[in-house]
Amino acid sequence: MAHLVEEGSAVYAEKPAWHGVGVTVPKSFTTEQALELGNFDYKVSKSPLHIKDGWHEVRVPNHVAVVREDTKQILGITSDKYEPFQNIEAIQWADNLLQDGIAHWESMMVLDGGKKFAGLMKLEEDMRIGDEDYWQYFLISTGHDGKYAIHLLPTNVRVVCYNTLTAATQGKSWNKSNATFKVRHNTNMRTNLEIARESVLITTAANRRMKDWLEKALVTHLPESREKDILNHLFGDPQKEDMTNWQKNQRNNFVTTFLDEEYDRNGETAYSFLQAASGYADHGIPFNKREAASVRSQDERRFASSLVGGRGDLLKRKTFAALNALGVGS
């Protein structure tokens, strides 16, 4: 089973995971088995960077290439102060969660040909908002392209439609819980990760804050004027001449495909608008030509955009900030 999963894919336990990326294995897997289930144990290292100057090669000062050792692929160019953090280190860091029975691995995935790695653990405790159920997860992700830091964050998945609501979505008000950590790839990162280990223990507290916010949003009416303001903030104002037809189409798609459905389900509330934005980010956000030409599947691109940084994540942040202005988070 060592090569059950091709690079750029994922493995998940027993049944297809909510994000739809990857292949299923017969049973749940342990940390030790994870490396056998997919090609997650590739190593990355720094390599000197050279340029040609006539007939000679000249080393580029203060910069290195980050290389995937098994394929020799260059994953990124970065400062020579960059410190690689191997996928196995990320997996082993999470061992204490499994040993304490707080969570179990549900999926692991490699994105962008090895530039990013993410492991998703499902917490044993679920959450209920109104008459809707949420699964609770803890995500650890790292990048090898010199741009993406190590991220540790709780996330919640709405069972009815697989929308993701991450702590990162919650903006500054959520950071008071210290549940979301970002650790840069430098000489201090392993010390900082040990400090961040405490975030695991307070994930439950962060989820309680999430639950309180969502319950308040569920009964917070969204006036038509405020809805229009938020739509203008997210997609542009159709009354202005500089709004493109593409923006108009996306705004219309968001309203007719996502927002109207949420209003029918839970009324014209802040909760409905946030769910519509999450649904659009996770399942409907369009891709530009460069993204569309990628070998990655649409599911994988949306997962990466929504959970490990991208336009989907940005859309959720902007939506939450706008809804917070209504006083939902106060």
193 and 227 share one domain: no
Res 178 pLDDT > 50: no
Q: Do residues 245 and 146 share a domain?
A: no
Contacts of 26 (CB under 8 A, 6+ apart): 14
Give the total number of structural domains in the chain: 2
Q: Please tell me the total number of residues recorded for the chain in this structure.
A: 330
Q: Over the stretch 10-25, which tens digit does the pLDDT of each residue have?
A: 666 666 555 555 666 6
Residues 177 and 256 placed together within one structural domain of the fold: no
If asked whether residues 148 and 235 sit together in one domain, one would say: no
pLDDT in tens, 224-256: 999 999 999 999 998 888 888 888 999 999 999
Does the residue 297 lie in any domain? yes
Q: Whole-number mean pLDDT of the chain?
A: 76
Cβ neighbours around 223 below 10 Å, total: 10
Strand order in the sheet with 56-68: 44-53, 56-68, 73-79
Q: Alpha carbon 50 to chain centroid distance? A: 34
Whether 77 is covered by a domain: the verdict is no
* C-beta separation of 286 from 280 below 8 A: no
Look up the pTM and report it. Answer: 0.64
> Has residue 157 been placed in a domain?
yes
Which 3 state secondary structure label does DSSP give 266?
A: helix
